[in-house]
Amino acid sequence: MALVEIKNLEAAVGGKPILKGIDLTINPGEVHAIMGPNGSGKSTLSSVLAGRETYTVTGGSVLFDGKDLLDLSPEERACEGLFMAFQYPVEIPGVTTSYFLKAAVNAIRKHHGQDELDAMDFLKMVKEKMALLEMDKTFLNRSVNEGFSGGEKKRNEIFQMAVLNPKFAILDETDSGLDIDALKIVANGVNALRSPERAILVVTHYQRLLDYIVPDFVHVLCDGRIVKSGGKELALELEKRGYAWLETAAA
Amino acid sequence: MTATTISPDNTAILSALGPSYGLPWLQQRRSDAMELFERIGLPPVTHEDWRLTNTAQIAKINFSAPGTGTPLTPEQLAGLCLKKLGAQQMVFVDGKFSPELSSPGGKVEILTIRQGMEKHADRVQRFLGREMPGQSNGFSAMNLAAFEDGAFIYLPPDQGDMGLVHLLWINASHDQPVVVHPRNLVIVGSNNQITLVQTYAGFSSHPAFCNAVTEMVVGKGAKVELIKLQRESDTAFHIANEAIHVHEHADVQSLCVNTGGHLVRNNMTVHLAEPFAQATLNGLTLAAGDQHIDNHTMLDHARENCPSHELYKHLLGGRAGAVFRGKILVRPDAQKTDSKQTSKTILLSDAAVMNSQPQLEIYADDVKCTHGSTTGPLDDEQLFYLRSRGVAAADAGALLTYAFARDVLLRIWHTGMREYLEEFVAAELHRLHLDQAES
Ligand SMILES: Nc1ncnc2c1ncn2[C@@H]1O[C@H](COP(=O)(O)OP(=O)(O)OP(=O)(O)O)[C@@H](O)[C@H]1O
Ligand SMILES: [Mg+2]
- Each residue's pLDDT tens digit, B360-376: 999 999 999 999 999 99
Single-letter residue type at B385: Y
With H, G, I as helix, E, B as strand and everything else as coil, classify residue B330.
Answer: strand
Question: Which residues fall within 8 angstroms of residue A7, CB to CB, at 6 or more apart?
Answer: A23, A60, A61, A62, A63
In angstroms, the CA A192 to CA A118 distance is 25
Q: What is the ipTM of this complex?
A: 0.96
Cα B72–chain centre separation: 23
Angstrom distance (rounded) from CA A180 to CA A211 = 12
Tell me what the pLDDT averaged over chain B comes to.
93
Residue A99: burial class (beta carbons within 10 Å; 0-12, 13-18, 19+): middle
Residue from B182, B283, B313 nearest B239 by CA: B182
User: Chain A residue with minimal CA distance to B391?
Assistant: A104
Pick the atom of ligand 1 nearest to A46's CA. Answer: 18
Beta strand spans in chain A (E)? 4-13, 16-26, 31-35, 56-64, 67-68, 82-85, 92-96, 143-144, 168-172, 199-203, 217-222, 225-230
φ and ψ at residue B377, rounded to 5 degrees: -75, 175
Kindly report the backbone phi and psi dihedral angles of residue B101, in degrees, each rounded to the nearest multiple of 5, phi listed first.
Answer: -85, -15
Spatial contact of B139 and B242, defined as CB atoms under 8 Å apart: no
The answer to whether B302 touches B272, Cβ cutoff 8 Å, is yes
pLDDT, residue B352, reads 97
Order of strands across the sheet with A225-230? A82-85, A168-172, A199-203, A31-35, A217-222, A225-230
> Does residue B436 carry a pLDDT above 90?
no
Q: Touching check for B394 and chain A: CB below 8 Å? A: no
User: Are A90 and B379 in contact (CB < 8 Å)?
Assistant: yes
What is the C-alpha separation between B324 and A24, in angstroms, rounded?
53
**Residues in chain B within 8 Å Cβ distance of A52:** 384, 388
Q: Quote the percentage of chain B above a pLDDT of 70.
A: 97
Specify the pLDDT at position B135: 85
**Helical packing angle, B393-409 and B380-387, nearest 10°:** 120
Is the CB of B123 inside 8 Å of chain A's CB atoms?
no
Identity of residue A125: M
Of B384, B389, B396, the CB nearest to A164: B389
Least confident of A104-113, B60-69, B380-389: B60-69
The beta-carbon neighbor of A160 closest among B387, B389, B404 is B389
B170, B231, B350, B381 from B316: Cα distances, Å = 25, 15, 10, 20
Supply the Cα-derived Rg of chain A in whole angstroms. 18
Beta bridge partners of B91: B168
Report the relative pairing of strands A217-222 and A225-230 from DSSP bridges: antiparallel
At residue B13, does pLDDT exceed 80? Answer: no
Position A246 scores a pLDDT of 84
The pLDDT tens digits for B276-334 are: 999 999 999 999 999 999 999 999 999 999 999 999 999 999 999 999 999 999 999 99
Q: Which ligand is nearest to the CA of A205?
A: 1
- Confidence check: pLDDT of B410 > 70: yes
Predicted confidence at residue B239, as pLDDT, reads 98
Residue B4 pLDDT > 70: no
**Average pLDDT, stretch B347-365?**
96
Cα(B288)–Cα(B262) distance, integer angstroms: 10
CA distance B380 to B192: 46
Predicted local confidence at residue B432, as pLDDT: 81
- Give the helix/strand (H/E) hosting B197: strand B192-202
Q: Is the pLDDT of residue A250 over 80?
A: no
Q: How far apart, in whole angstroms, are the C-alpha atoms of residue A28 and residue A201?
A: 11
B277 C-alpha to center of ligand 1: Å? 52
Q: Identity (one letter) of the amino acid at B143?
A: N
User: Residue B256 carries which side chain, given as an amino acid letter?
Assistant: C
Distance CA B223, CA B249 (A): 9
d(CA A91, CA B403): 12
Q: Do residues B252 and B273 touch, judged by C-beta distance below 8 A? A: no
Ranges A93-97, B341-345, B409-413: which has the least confidence: A93-97
Indicate which ligand has the atom closest to the C-alpha of A44.
Answer: 1
Lining residues, ligand 1, CB within 6 Å:
A 13-14, 18, 36, 38-44, 54, 87
Q: Measured in Å, how far apart are chain A's first and last C-alpha atoms? A: 34
Instruction: Say how far apart CA A111 and CA A40 lie, in whole Å.
Output: 35
A203 band by pLDDT with thresholds 50, 70 and 90? very high
Closest residue by CA, ligand 1 atom 28: A39
Contact A78, A110 (CB under 8 A): no
DSSP strand pairing (A31-35 vs A217-222): parallel
